[in-house]
Amino acid sequence: MPWDKQFNVDDALARAMEAFWAKGYEGVSMQDLVDSMGVNRASMYATFGDKRSLFIQALRLYAVDMLEAYLAGLERQYSPRQAVLAVFDDAVASALADDAHNGCFLANTSVELSAHDPEIAGIVAGGLSRMEGFFHRIIHSGQATGEIPVTVDATEASRALLGLLTGLRVLARSRPEEPLLRAIARQAGAAIE
């Protein structure tokens, strides 16, 4: 008779992601993961593998699934220019509301692990490329509708926007000062004028 899981795998993975996000890979103990996921240690290992395997699954959840859903929602809800600005408004709002200063899981992982782990670096690079691709695609859409000037170089602007966003997310961890973060967000608007 096959073994039935007594927990929701997706929910447990989401809770693991939150634990890694809050404490980083090195800062999370196996007991922290067991406690946050609400599963026993044997079930966690049987379902997700070791700590690194669990981290990679959590990072993919964030860098692929959650990011794609977020970007698709922006494209549905906003005009191209407003979608770009919404990314930065959302980043500032989340940083100001984040009393723990957890920042962005992708940016945190980039700083903590990417230089030391090629597989994790690839996942981070993929997430960053998705963000850059979103900016590139949305700039072209805005140019087609006349909302973004055709003189804006979509490749250069999308790369600049990615840099601004990543910088904002990293700065928000140690300097979550509204004037600083809003200044960066204003530069995002300037990049597509």
State the DSSP H helix or E strand holding residue 31, giving kind and residue range, or none if neither.
helix 30-37
Q: At what angle do helices 41-48 and 30-37 cross, to 10 degrees?
A: 90
Tell me how far the alpha carbon of residue 21 is from its chain's centroid: 10
Is 17 within 8 Å of 26 (Cβ atoms)? no
pLDDT at residue 54 in the model: 97
The number of C-alpha atoms within 13 Å of 27 and in the hemisphere containing its C-beta is 12
Which pLDDT belongs to residue 1? Answer: 37
What CA–CA distance (Å, rounded) separates 173 from 16?
20
Residue-wise pLDDT tens digits, 79-132: 999 999 999 999 999 999 999 999 899 999 999 998 899 999 999 999 999 999
> What does pLDDT average to over the chain?
94
Banded model confidence at residue 160, pLDDT cuts 50, 70, 90: very high
Task: State pLDDT tens for residues 36-73.
Answer: 999 989 989 999 999 999 999 999 999 999 999 999 99
Structural domains in the chain plus CATH codes: 62-191 (1.10.357.10)
The pLDDT score that the predictor gives to residue 5 is 58
pTM of the model: 0.91
